[in-house]
Amino acid sequence: MLGAFFKSIPYVAARKSLDTAALRQKVISHNLANVDTPHYKRSEVNFEDAFKRALERKPHRLVGFKTDHQHIPINPVPDPTKVEPSIWRQNDTFYRSDDNNVDIDVEMADLAKNELKFHSVVETLNRKMRRLTLSIRGRS
């Protein structure tokens, strides 16, 4: 039963959300540290859309049909447990004449939003762990 809990989709989603929030914190901090660096391009962390597609169990492109176990899969349906966050560099916008595209207000807003997401996931996990602990002890 306990193994099933740690392999469940809600727990995997929470764990991956915390990992993504930690990576996003580093990326935003790096963007803020380079706010005055000429030619620096801001980075973003992408995860939520890919994880959502994996949870829907629907491919976003045509999926190849395998007639043999040795066939190479073509656009397989993504597994939610294998979806990882990715870092994307935004090269297409320019806010200033020195080609730096970091907007400190946007970064600070993203930082606050990331912090709120992180704390809400931690609080949710804490409540689930408390309930799990109480059920193991035999209390409700």
- Residues 58-87: tens digit of each pLDDT: 655 666 677 888 887 776 666 788 889 999
Please determine, for residue 9, whether its predicted confidence score (pLDDT) is greater than 90: no
Distances (CA, A) of 10 to 13, 55, 78: 5, 11, 17
| Residue 76: per-residue pLDDT | 67
| Residue 21: per-residue pLDDT | 96
* Residue 110 to residue 102: CA distance in whole angstroms: 12
| Residue 15: per-residue pLDDT | 92
Query: Over the chain, what is the mean pLDDT?
Result: 86
Q: Report yes or no: 25 and 74 within 8 Å, Cβ to Cβ.
A: no
Please determine, for residue 94, whether its predicted confidence score (pLDDT) is greater than 80: no
Q: Who has greater pLDDT, 7 or 33? A: 33
Amino acid at 123: E
Q: Report yes or no: 28 and 117 within 8 Å, Cβ to Cβ.
A: no
| Residue 140: per-residue pLDDT | 54
pLDDT tens figures, 24-55: 999 999 999 999 999 999 999 999 988 888 88
